[in-house]
Every structure is written in C-alpha cells, then in structure tokens.
C-alpha cells in the first residue's frame, strides 16, 4: 500500500513539474552581442508576449534574465527541452543565487528595447536589443489593385 502511494505521489510530482513548463518562442529580430562582438550560436526567447523574463541561449549555455529584478541566472541546459519551434522551461526552476552582475542599463526607444548587463565574475558584457512590434492595427488595408503614382 505504501509503495502504491509513493508511486502515485511521484507521478503527481512529475506531472505537476510538466504543467509548470512554459513555452518559449524565439524573438526573430533580436540582436545579441557579448563584449561588443557577435555571438556565433545564440537565441533570445520570450513566453507569449511577455519580454520579462528572457531566456538567452549562448552556444550550449542558457541564462534566465529577470529584467525588473535585475538578475541573471545560469540555467542547467538539461532543464530546457527543445521542440521544433520552441523551448520548454519552467522559469521558476533556477538556482537560488543569481550571477553577480553590474552595469545594468535598460533603455527603451521608439524602435528597440536595449538591455546591457555585465556578468562580473566572467567580465562579460551582454548587450541585447529587442525590436518593438509595430502596431499596424490602425492602418487601412491596402487594395491589391493599388498602384503607385509619380
């Protein structure tokens, strides 16, 4: 009886952990530089339309960036599941202590949101630029027969 209870409890814990997984989609037009140089293999991901937190992939390394809290966490790559067009990861499943960071700067302009932060222990400056989505909802639809006049 105790073994059956244990098996049910373990399966409940596993399914609860799977329920917490969030779908992370890549931000197509994002730009990433480290120490003012481009990165060869990288990606910047967001959940839904939220841009806080961000999940950043640099080669095989994953960083969870909590912008409002100004924290960066190193994520075990084994905790990130790769699907065809998304990553699955529970954003609450990160180490207790963030990486030591300095030089936080978040700047929002009309065209881009720019985040810069230095990972102190590694002397690496992350520079992430995220384009703003254009809101074209107020634009009238263009007629397919419309021509340009000179």
pLDDT band at 6 (very low <50, low <70, confident <90, very high): very low
Looking only at the bridges linking them, the beta strands covering 37-38 and 50-58 are unpaired
pLDDT at 4 over 50: no
- How far is it, in rounded angstroms, from Cα 126 to Cα 119? 8
Q: What pTM value is reported for the model?
A: 0.77
27 within some domain: yes
CA distances from 36 to 29, 92, 108, 124, 125 (A): 18, 30, 19, 9, 8
**Residue at 36 is within a domain:** yes
Query: How confident is the prediction for the chain on average, in pLDDT?
Result: 85
Domain tally, the chain = 1
Give the separation between CA 72 and CA 98, rounded to whole angstroms: 5
Query: Could you tell me the residue range of the domain that residue 32 belongs to?
Result: 22-131
| pLDDT per position as a tens digit, 78-88 | 999 999 999 99
């Amino acid at each position: 009886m105790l073994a059956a209870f244990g098996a049910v409890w373990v399966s409940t814990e596993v399914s609860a952990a799977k329920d917490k997984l969030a779908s992370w989609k890549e931000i197509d037009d994002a730009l990433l530089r480290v120490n003012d140089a481009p990165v060869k293999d990288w990606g910047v991901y967001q959940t839904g339309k939220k841009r806080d937190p961000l999940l950043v992939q640099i080669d095989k390394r994953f960083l969870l960036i909590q912008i409002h809290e100004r924290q960066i966490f190193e994520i075990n790559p084994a905790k990130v599941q790769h699907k065809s067009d998304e990553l699955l990861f529970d954003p609450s499943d990160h180490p207790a202590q963030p990486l030591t960071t300095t030089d936080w700067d978040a700047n929002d302009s009309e065209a881009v949101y720019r985040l810069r932060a230095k990972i102190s222990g590694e002397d690496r400056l992350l520079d992430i630029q995220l384009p703003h989505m254009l809101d074209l909802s107020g634009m009238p639809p263009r007629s397919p027969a419309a021509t340009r006049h000179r």
